[in-house]
């Protein structure tokens, strides 16, 4: 995943389908949810101490699959505290999916939602009296914001005392980062993208002099079919991983061959005849 420099970054139509296909095959949400169950209860208890209500903001929440799980977890950790949720998401299609998911998730009817169907940049411009939140999360979306340091500075300024800004992003030095940095000329040119990983987020956080913690979210997924040009699954995974319309028609044949070789030898591990892509994520929790 990576950052688009134009403002076509929100997912609609074929991007939604490609992302959902990726989620089904990558186990990414399952890995993040495992991490949430270990990490968030302690974090939520600290955030909620001395509070009479809790305000949560999700930025780039997509279809809300992770948000509803986080909010349910927050309810179970703080059963007596009223919770409200705001969502800033650019995709009308994914907001509709999110609303449908809220409607069918037990207990979420107790949480009032405010939907800001807009880009993060527009939310930042639009809010005059900045609303304060106790927990703000940006999961796999920081690639798409215009100015990374300014964005972190803005959302951190929206935190209440003891609040946390949780950014989840591809981990520096792991599979995504190696692929996108090694082939940045081709991948970024083809998709009009600049790439970011946890290394870039940490650089911004350090420039701003903020206190933070970093945690790894390990994950791998099977990309064996990417090496079979006749596999539809492989081609669809490659489409998402390289942010191309059609991997088999993008770049020169030599570059495609080099990328596939690099994917196998540097970004993955082989086990029992299968190739597993190293897709570790990083959670950077910025303090108020």
Ligand X SMILES: C[S@@+](CC[C@H](N)C(=O)[O-])C[C@H]1O[C@@H](n2cnc3c(N)ncnc32)[C@H](O)[C@@H]1O
Name the site residues for ligand X (rule: CB under 6 A): 1, 9-11, 19, 59-62, 65-66, 88-91, 94, 119-121, 139-141, 144-145
**Cβ-based nearer residue to ligand X, 122 or 214:** 122
Integer angstrom CA distances of residue 117 from 90, 95, 99: 5, 7, 12
Torsion of the alpha carbons at 200, 205, 209 and 212, rounded to the nearest 10:
-130
Sign for the CA dihedral angle at 217, 141, 108, 14 comes to: negative
Q: Which is nearer to ligand X, 116 or 256 (CB)?
A: 116
Closer residue to ligand X (CB): 90 or 163: 90
HSE-up of residue 97 (Cα within 13 Å, Cβ side): 19
Nearest approach in angstroms of CB 271 to ligand X is 26
Q: What is the Cα 214 distance to its own chain's centre?
A: 15
Nearest to 57 by CA among 118, 110, 109, 132: 132
Residue whose pair of structure tokens reads 């279809």 in the numeric block: 63
* CB of 59 or CB of 102, closer to ligand X: 59
- DSSP of 157-195, one letter per residue? HTEEEEEEEEEEEEPTTSHHHHHHHHTHHHHHHHHTEE-
Q: Alpha-carbon distance 109 to 19, whole Å?
A: 27
* Closer Cβ to ligand X, 200 or 256, answer by number: 200
Could you tell me which of 173, 203, 179, 200 has the C-alpha nearest to residue 191? 179
Element (H, E) at 276: strand 274-278
Could you tell me the smallest distance in angstroms from the CB atom of residue 2 to ligand X?
Answer: 10
- Name the 3-class secondary structure at 141: coil
Which tokens hold the place of 245?
């319309």
Write down the least CB distance from residue 73 to ligand X, Å.
16
Indicate the residue among 78 and 167 with the shorter CB distance to ligand X.
Answer: 167
Q: Pick between residue 204 and residue 224 the one whose CB is nearest to ligand X.
A: 204
Nearest residue to ligand X on Cβ basis: 62
Nearer to ligand X, 93 or 258 (CB): 93
């Amino acid at each position: 995943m990576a950052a688009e420099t134009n403002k076509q970054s929100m997912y609609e139509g074929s991007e939604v389908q490609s992302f959902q296909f990726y989620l089904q095959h990558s186990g990414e949400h399952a890995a993040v949810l495992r991490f949430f169950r270990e990490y968030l209860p302690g974090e939520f208890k600290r955030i909620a101490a001395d509070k009479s209500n809790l305000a949560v903001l999700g930025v780039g929440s997509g279809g809300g699959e992770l948000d509803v799980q986080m909010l349910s977890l927050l309810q179970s950790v703080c059963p007596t505290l009223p919770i409200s949720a705001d969502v800033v998401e650019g995709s009308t299609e994914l907001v509709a999916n999110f609303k449908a998911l809220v409607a069918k998730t037990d207990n979420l009817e107790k949480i009032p939602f405010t939907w800001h169907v807009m880009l993060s940049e527009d939310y930042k411009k639009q809010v005059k009296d900045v609303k304060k939140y106790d927990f703000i999360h940006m999961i796999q979306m920081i690639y798409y914001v215009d100015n990374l340091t300014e964005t972190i500075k803005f959302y951190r300024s929206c935190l209440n005392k003891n609040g946390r800004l949780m950014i989840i992003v591809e981990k520096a030095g792991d599979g995504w980062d190696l692929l996108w940095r090694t082939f940045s000329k081709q991948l970024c040119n083809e998709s009009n993208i600049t790439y970011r990983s946890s290394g870039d987020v940490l650089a911004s956080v350090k420039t701003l002099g903020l206190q933070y913690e970093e945690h790894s979210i390990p994950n791998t997924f099977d990309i064996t079919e990417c090496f079979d040009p006749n596999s539809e699954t492989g081609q669809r995974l490659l489409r998402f991983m390289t942010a191309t319309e059609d991997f088999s028609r993008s770049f020169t044949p030599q570059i495609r061959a080099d990328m596939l070789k690099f994917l196998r030898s540097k970004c993955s591990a082989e086990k029992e005849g299968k190739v597993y892509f190293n897709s570790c994520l990083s959670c950077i929790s910025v303090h108020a």
